[in-house]
Chain A
Amino acid sequence: MFIKSIKATFIRDWITQLRAYPMHFFIGNVLTVFYTVLGAFFMYHLLFQGHLKASFEQYTGTSDYMTYVIIGSLAYALVVRTLLNVSRSLITELRQGTLESLMLAPFSRIGYFIGNMLQQTITSLGEVFLSMIFCLIFGLSVGTINGVTFVVSLVMTLYAYFGLSLCLGAIMLYTRDTYISQNTLFLFIFLVSGVIFPVEYLPKYLNVIGASLPVRDSIVILRAAVMDGVTIESLSPIYLRLFLLGTGYFVVGYSAIKKIERIALEKIFG
């Protein structure tokens, strides 16, 4: 049942995406990364004229600001797309009137969410890799990438995002809101996760809150794999922390979603 739920949901979402979302939707997502990087490029070269505070290198271990920003932006794009899709899945079912028929079936919830995330991850990775190509123009340097570390970091990243997306999904289903919850969270993630500047520049309290979200660590390991080409072993403490964070979010999110599903079904007709 678990594998069938993954496969079926993956295929269903794939067909729906091919049928419902035209190519310009894909291009639109790529352009979002493009504009973020373009903004950073202009600021770095025209406003700061390539000058960085000495503390930047001290905190990040690099003086290559553009690669720093680009990796951060690409990882952020991956967060937004995967997190958003999984967390929105059940409220979308509710809105299109299929939540009841879905819940009538004895399917695997985890399988359903994984299928959903897998499909979205493939699309998002397509967008991210396409974005990487034009990001080369802006100075993205991938010469030192460690492929194995990158793949492991990506898997760990997706694992951690999966747990977080279940929590967000539970909030969305309970409040029946997608816009406020998703946008508030994503703006906050952008601010506290070191997407375009080191988190050390943040006030302490924001730093503490930011550390409780898995996005920050995922950006750190992806950057380390691409920019420093480090080995898996050297990142193992962060992997462990990310695993624990992701598992924590998964446990909370999964149990919350089971309860909120029932509340949502009771609310449909009251």
Chain B
Amino acid sequence: MIEARNLKKTYHTKVKKGLFKREKDIVEAVKGIHLKLEKGQIIGLLGINGAGKTTTIKMLSTLIKATSGEILVDGVEINENPLKIKQKVNMIAGGERMIYWRLTGRENLWYYGQLYGIPDKVLKTRIDRLLTLVGLNEKQNVPVERYSKGMKQRLQIARGLINDPDYLFMDEPTLGLDAPIAREIRTYIKKLAIEEQKGILLTSHYINEVEALCDYIYILDHGEVILEGTAKTLSESTFETKITVLELAEMNSEIEASMQRFAVEENAIIHRSPDAYLIRFESKNELTEALVKRIHSENLPLSKLYVEAPKLEDTIIEISRRVNS
């Protein structure tokens, strides 16, 4: 397990003021983050304003040192033996960086494999397996500069797996990719966690991606975790009301009047949809049970009845609205 405790990062920067004058500035990028990542788990980092996601990933992956706080990787403090920790972690970033364009796909993987000190026989088998995993077998001997965006991104995933890491940090892994390729990559990510038991930390601007992949989500704002939980618990803690949706097979003024009365009795707000047969009740409690009773007693032509969970996107928009106000 990776555990970050009270992680802080402060940057000392210089801001240009005129031609020769420079002023020192202190930026607190991360202000005391706590997080946990277990093997086989996918956690998401979502940010609102200058959240500190990338800085957090860089600290967790040994690229930069935290100003204070502690990172434990399988119980070992990250600064105690960074070389050993580097064998256990890797990072994949979106875009077309982190690979050598002049080398072929296979040469890239070979080079990185050598830098990790992987024995030649093991490395050869692993490269073959990874090229198959990311579907680049046929293009393995083509220089990367001739790859498409999606192929480069797939090669990046293979590079990130070259040391067979226990933990993988993915910073915007589907950035700028076409929808079918992004979906393909999401499938790989899920597979890596489920089949290969990799602990994955994911950041993405695509909230649907985070919702679909992550078991647990941390929401960061200005370097702090302001909320954490599963997509469901996040929405529960964000929204005070619940939406119960009723879909009827037919609608008339009598039924409509009955539903209005029901809303008043239950202290709920009615939201009529453009679809005349669909009514949304917004209330503090779930209204499923009460609605079932009403439908039964008035013999209403029920089509569907369910509680509508807010999407993660709605949750983030709501949190963002609150933070900004």
Contacts and interface: CB of A to CB of B under 8 A. Distances in A.
Interface residues of B, number: 41
B235 interface: no
Contact of A100 (B84, B89, B93, B110): B93
Per DSSP, are chain A's interface residues mostly helix, strand or loop, or mixed? helix
A93 to B, nearest CB: 9
Interface in B53-70: 54-55, 58, 61-65
Given A8-B115, A98-B99, A262 B90 contact: no
A134 interface: no
B116 A98 contact: no
Contacts of B86: 104-106
A20 interface: yes
A270 B83 contact: no
Nearest to A5: B115
A97 interface: yes
A15 B82 CA distance: 30
A176 interface: no
B101 A96 contact: yes
Contacts of B117: 1, 4, 106-107
Contacts of A4: 114-115, 117
Contact of B64 (A15, A101, A105, A266): A266
Interface residues of A, number: 27
Contacts of A102: 115
Contacts of A16: 100, 102-103
A12 interface: yes
Interface string A1-25: 1001101100110011001100000
Given A106-B83, A106-B116, A270-B11, A265 B102 contact: no
B97 A98 contact: yes
A19 B143 contact: yes
B11 A12 contact: no
Nearest to B82: A106
11 contacts: A4-B117, A5-B114, A12-B111, A96-B100, A97-B95, A98-B98, A104-B62, A104-B86, A107-B117, A262-B65, A266-B64
Interface of A: 1, 4-5, 7-8, 11-12, 15-16, 19-20, 96-98, 100-107, 262, 265-266, 269-270
